[in-house]
A and B are shown apart, each in its own frame.
Chain A
Amino acid sequence: MTDETTSRVHTTAPVRLARQIRGLSDRAVAWIFIAPTIFLLLAINIFPLIWTIRLSLTNYRANRTSADLEWVGLRNYQRILNDPDIWNSMQATAHFLLWTLVLQVLIGFTLAYLINKKFRGNDMWTTIIVLPMMLSPAVVGNFWTFLYQPQIGLFNYVVGFLTGADPSSFSMIGDVALAPWSIVIVDTWMWTPFVMLICLAGLRSIPDSIYEAAECDRASKWRQFWTITIPMALPFLMLAVLFRGIENFKMFDLVVQLTGGGPGSITELTSINLKREAFEKWRTGYASAYAVILFVTVFGLASIYVKALNKVKER
C-alpha cells in the first residue's frame, strides 16, 4: 500500500480542497486529537497543582474534614523555611544528588567509553548492564535491605571477603556514617546504565573523520580525548545529568524501602519528609506549601540548567 501511495505523491492535485470537502478540517482534527490529552493532564496535573497552592495557604488537615478551614496566608511557607528539620532533609537530598551524579557520570562514562571500543559481544553485555534500571525500585530496594544485613547479607559478606573486615562488624543501613552511602550505592548500581547509554550515544555520534584529522595533526590520544571526545560528548552527558538530577530530586521509593529515612533522619530525603508531613502527620496545608516549594525548586533549577545545556549545544 505504501508503494501505491508514494507513487502518487507527484500527481499534484488541489490538496487543500480535497481536505475541506471530505471530513473534518485539519484544525478540527487537531483539536479533537489533542483535547483529551490536554484535558487529562489538566485534571491530573494542573488542577491538583492549583489546588495544592490553594491548600498551602490554609491550615487544612485531610484527616479532619469537620474542622474549620482557616486561611493562614504565607505562614506555612514561613514555618517551613524556618524549620531546621526541613533544611536537614534538603541537605540529605543535596548529598544524595551530588554523590549519585558524580559516581554515575564517572562510572557511566567510563563504561560507555569502554563499550565504544566495540569488543565482541558488546551489545549483549550492554543489555545485561542495563537490566537493573528497568526494575521496580521499591521491590529491588526492599531486597537490598537483605543484601545489607550484617553477617548474613551478601554485600557485607563480599566486602568482608575483600577487605578482611568482619561482616557482622558493620551495618550499612544502621550506621549513621554508612547509611547515606548505602542509598548512594544502590542508586548508582541501578542508574549508572542510564548515564552509560546516553554517553554511548554521544560517543557514537562523533564522526571518525574528526579523529582521523587529529591523527594527521599528530595529536596525542590524551589530547584527542580532552579536545574531541569530551566536548563532543558533553551535551549528552549534561542531558543525562539533567534526567538523573530531576529523578533523584524526586527520589522516594528506593530510599523509603532501603532506610525509610533512618537512622534518625540521616537519609530522610525531601520526598520522604514530605510524605511524613502529608500522609502520616496529615498536616495537609503545611505539606502543600512544602510541595510547592519543592516544585518551584526543581523547576527553577531545571530551567537554569536547560539554558546552560542549550549554550553548550550551540557551541
Chain B
Amino acid sequence: MSYSVTDPSPRQKWTAGTLVVAYALITLLPLLWIIATGFKSPSDAIAYPPKVIFEPTLEGYVNLFTTRTRMSPDALSALGEPATWYDRIVRQYDMVISGPSRYGERFLNSVIIGFGSTFLSVFLGTLAAYAFSRFKVPLKDDLMFFILSTRMMPPIAVAIPIFLMFRQLGLSDTHLGMILLYTGVNLSLSVWLLKGFIDEIPVEYEEAALIDGYTRFQAFTKVVLPQAATGIASTAIFCLIFSWNEYAFAVLLTSGTAQTAPPFIPTIIGVGKDWPAVAAGATLFLVPVMVFTILLRKHLLRGITFGAVRK
C-alpha cells in the first residue's frame, strides 16, 4: 500500500465525494431556481409542472425597474408603435411604462449604508483592536466580552429604544442613522476579528520602528496597517455582508428615504404575484454576495466565528 494508514482509500474518497457533490447540488437548487425564475415570463414562472426549460425573457427585469399602468385598447392604439424593446414587452399586457420603480433607489441605499457603516466600523475597529492587542488596557477581558455580548441581544429588543432615540434625534429613516446603527452592531465583529489578525503580527516589527524614531502612531500606520491589510479587507467584507443582509432594523427604522433592499424586495410582488420581478430583484441583490463569498473562502471560518476558530 502506498498511502499511509490515516489516508482514506480511493473508494472511500469516491463515496465521500459523491455524497458531498449530491448535497451541494441539492443545496444549490433553490439558488439556481431564483436566478432562473428571474428570466421567466410570469406564466412560465407559475406553470405546472415547474418549467426547467423555458424561453428566457427580460420581463422580470423590466417589471423590476419600472412601474406600469394599464391602458384601454383605444388609448393604446392612439399611442402608436412602442419605441423600445422594453416598451414592447410591457405593451403585450396592455400596459405602458409610467415611470421608474423604487428598486434602484433602494439598491443604492443598501450600497450607501453598507459601505458607510463598513468603513466606519473597520476604521474604529482597527484602532480599538490595535489598542486591545498591544496595550495593557484595564479590564481588557471584560471590555472584550462586553463588546461581544452586544451581539447577543435580539435585534427587535434593541430596536425599541433605538426607535425612540432616533425619533428624538430626527434620525428615523435617514442614512446617517442607519450607518451609525450598523456600525454599532458591526463593531463587535470587527474588533474581535481584527484583534486576532493584529495579534498575529509580531510585536518586534513595531518595536524596531519605535526605536527607529517612529512615534506610536506612525508605527501603527506605517508598520501594522500594511501587515494587517488582508485581515482588514476580509473584516470589511464581513461587515459589508452583514449590513447588506440586515433586515430587522431596516424594516423597523426605515420607511422610504433610507430603506434598504431587503425589506423592499419582498414587497415588489405587489398586486398579482410577479415572481419573476421578485426573483430578478433578489438575483441582483444576492449575486454580489456570492462573488464575495468565493473571494473570501479562505477567511470564511474566521469571520463567521468572530475569530474564535482560525484554522
Contacts and interface: CB of A to CB of B under 8 A. Distances in A.
Direct contact of A and B (CB under 8 A): yes
A157 B13 CA distance: 32
B131 A33 contact: yes
Contacts of A128: 24, 27-28
A106 to B, nearest CB: 13
A189 B30 contact: yes
Nearest to A290: B157
A124 to B, nearest CB: 9
B215 A118 contact: no
A286 to B, nearest CB: 11
A67 interface: no
Contact of A299 (B152, B164, B167, B208): B152
A37 B305 contact: no
A129 interface: yes
A33 B153 contact: no
B31 interface: yes
Interface string A161-185: 0000001000000000000000000
Residue among A36, A157, A287 having the largest count of chain B Cβ atoms under 10 Å: A36
B279 A122 contact: no
Contact of A253 (B31, B151, B247): B247
Contacts of B33: 143, 147, 154
A146 B305 contact: no
Chain B interface mostly: helix
Contact of A252 (B131, B154, B290): B154
Contacts of B48: 151-152, 157, 167
A57 to B, nearest CB: 14
A19 interface: yes
Contact of B160 (A152, A197, A288): A288
Interface in B213-269: 213-218, 220, 222-223, 226-227, 241, 244-245, 247-248, 251-252, 261-263, 265-266
Contacts of B222: 1
A292 B156 CA distance: 11
A117 B13 contact: yes
A122 B211 contact: no
B137 A34 contact: yes
A115 B147 contact: no
Given A23-B215, A127-B297, A138 B184 contact: no
Given A15-B210, A239-B305, A33 B127 contact: yes
Interface residues of A, number: 113
B174 interface: no
A211 B223 CA distance: 42
B152 A139 contact: no
B155 interface: yes
Contacts of A278: 156, 159-160
Contact of B50 (A121, A154, A243): A154
Interface string B267-283: 00000000100110010
A62 interface: yes
A251 to B, nearest CB: 9
B286 interface: yes
B212 interface: yes
A29 B131 contact: yes
Interface in A210-269: 211-212, 215, 236, 239, 243, 246, 249-250, 252-253, 257
Please give me the 7 A-B residue pairs with the lowest Cβ-Cβ distance, nearest first: A44-B184, A23-B215, A291-B157, A119-B17, A48-B161, A138-B247, A117-B16
Given A122-B20, A243-B305, A246-B151, 16 more contacts: A1-B223, A24-B216, A26-B135, A29-B131, A33-B131, A37-B125, A44-B158, A52-B161, A131-B290, A135-B245, A139-B285, A143-B30, A143-B34, A146-B278, A197-B300, A211-B5
9 contacts: A41-B146, A48-B158, A115-B20, A136-B247, A136-B286, A138-B251, A154-B30, A157-B49, A253-B248
